[in-house]
């Protein structure tokens, strides 16, 4: 029998890669999209005729129940969230509604429609925030440093709680930063690779950043959706840390990105306090031993290869005048 999967956050970076993975494995894929006055499906435009789009919103309980009744999925991947950390200080309540309470709404919808549905929750390394141990693993205490991180801690614990309370097959993937040519332009990796491409093509003269000393464990998004899927194929539901086990600073990312375009970053990069955050996450590093052992998951692409891929994509896209998530360019990215 063909598996059916419902993805919330289909139109985001991870949703587009996950849809490709599931279609490739023979699933019938349903994607939740929220209503807006203009179509916002660029990242999945190349999959348009293979996915069933369902209008629903994490803010609206009834719409989630209807989406489940219509799709009758075996698996639900809850990727939808307000995912940009700085916005979570500007819109802390809305971030909590989407990113925290939205998880409960989806779990309640599953309870109402079909308790056999397997559930994946997109948790985040931002939950560790100011970590008490290095590297971070599943048992490392949480110390979130933003309203986004706090909301993700809620989403994580409510997932664990519904597993323990109602015996749902509910998994939480604690994913560290993952990037790609499909990353939103406000996140630092893409801001840098697009900035490099603009400078290379003579469209811009400088790149202005915030805290370049921050360190993250950055991996490739396409590889991370494989870990999500594997979590839902296990005999028992569980929580897993997913990352590369290698940390780099934003300054490293800058150096590698500029050198991939044969440019000297010192000629172009400035810093500005307006990009600093009220509370920073200084350093994160994943211990993915559990995912390595139990899921057989390991990252393949190196940090330098990832950044070079993103720089190449942005130079190609901007050089051809293609839109940000051009379906032509994305089909091969």
Q: In the complex, which residues of this chain contact ligand NAP (CB under 6 A)?
A: 8-15, 32, 34, 40, 57-59, 79-83, 98, 122, 124, 175, 177-178, 184
Instruction: Based on the shown chain and the rule CB under 6 A, indicate whether residue 54 belongs to the binding site for ligand F7E.
Output: no
Site pattern 96..135 for ligand F7E (x: CB under 6 A): ----------------------------xxx---------
Q: How many CA atoms lie within 13 A of 133 on its CB side?
A: 9
Structure tokens at 189: 């990796």
Q: How far is the CB of 307 from ligand NAP (least distance, A)?
A: 14
CB 103 within 8 A of CB 215: no
Site for ligand F7E in 204-223 (CB under 6 A): 209-212, 214, 216
Instruction: Based on the shown chain and the rule CB under 6 A, indicate whether residue 248 belongs to the binding site for ligand F7E.
Output: no
Who contacts 269 (Cβ-Cβ below 8 Å, separation ≥6)? Answer: 206, 207, 208, 209, 212, 254, 258
Which of the choices ligand F7E, ligand NAP, none does residue 117 contact, using the CB cut-off of 5 to 8 A by kind? Answer: none
Which among 71, 75, 38, 74 has a CA at the least distance from the CA of 56? 71
Annotated catalytic residue within 63, 83, 88, 124: 124
Residue 166 among the catalytic residues: no
- Site size for ligand F7E (CB under 6 A): 23
Q: Among all chains, which residue has been given the structure tokens 């190196």?
A: 302
Residue 274 among the catalytic residues: no
**H-run or E-run covering 33:** strand 28-33
How far is the C-alpha of 321 from the C-alpha of 323, rounded, in Å? 7
Which of the choices ligand NAP, ligand F7E, none does residue 98 contact, using the CB cut-off of 5 to 8 A by kind? Answer: ligand NAP
How far is the C-alpha of 97 from the C-alpha of 102, rounded, in Å? 6
Q: How far is the CB of 94 from ligand NAP (least distance, A)?
A: 9
Instruction: Just list the catalytic residues.
Output: 124, 126, 148
């Amino acid at each position: 029998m063909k598996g059916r999967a419902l993805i919330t956050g289909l139109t985001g970076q991870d949703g587009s890669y996950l849809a490709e993975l599931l279609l490739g494995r023979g699933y019938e894929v349903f994607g939740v999209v929220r209503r807006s006055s203009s179509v916002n499906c660029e990242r999945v435009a190349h999959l348009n005729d293979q996915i069933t789009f369902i209008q629903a919103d994490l803010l609206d309980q009834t719409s989630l129940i209807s989406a489940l009744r219509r799709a009758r999925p075996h698996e639900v991947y809850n990727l939808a969230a307000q995912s940009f950390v700085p916005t979570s200080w500007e819109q802390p309540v809305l971030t909590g509604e989407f990113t925290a309470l939205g998880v409960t709404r989806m779990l309640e919808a599953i309870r109402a429609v079909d308790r056999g549905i397997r559930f994946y929750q997109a948790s985040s390394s931002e939950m560790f925030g100011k970590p008490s141990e290095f590297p971070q693993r599943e048992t490392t205490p949480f110390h979130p440093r933003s309203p986004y991180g706090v909301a993700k801690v809620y989403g994580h614990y409510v997932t664990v709680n519904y597993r323990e309370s109602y015996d749902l097959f509910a998994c939480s993937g604690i994913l560290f930063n993952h990037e790609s040519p499909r990353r939103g332009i406000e996140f630092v990796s893409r801001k840098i690779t697009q900035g490099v491409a603009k400078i290379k093509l003579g469209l811009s003269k400088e790149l202005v950043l915030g805290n370049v000393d921050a360190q993250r464990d950055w991996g490739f998004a396409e590889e991370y959706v494989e870990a999500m899927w594997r979590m839902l194929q296990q005999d028992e539901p569980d929580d897993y840390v997913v990352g590369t086990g290698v940390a780099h600073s934003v300054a490293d990312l800058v150096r590698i990105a500029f050198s991939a375009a044969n440019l000297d970053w010192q000629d172009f990069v400035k810093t500005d306090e307006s990009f600093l955050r009220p509370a920073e996450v200084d350093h994160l590093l994943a211990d993915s031993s559990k995912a390595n052992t139990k899921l057989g998951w390991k990252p393949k692409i190196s940090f330098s290869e990832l950044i070079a891929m993103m720089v190449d994509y942005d130079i190609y896209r901007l050089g051809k005048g293609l839109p940000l998530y051009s379906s032509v360019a994305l089909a091969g990215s």
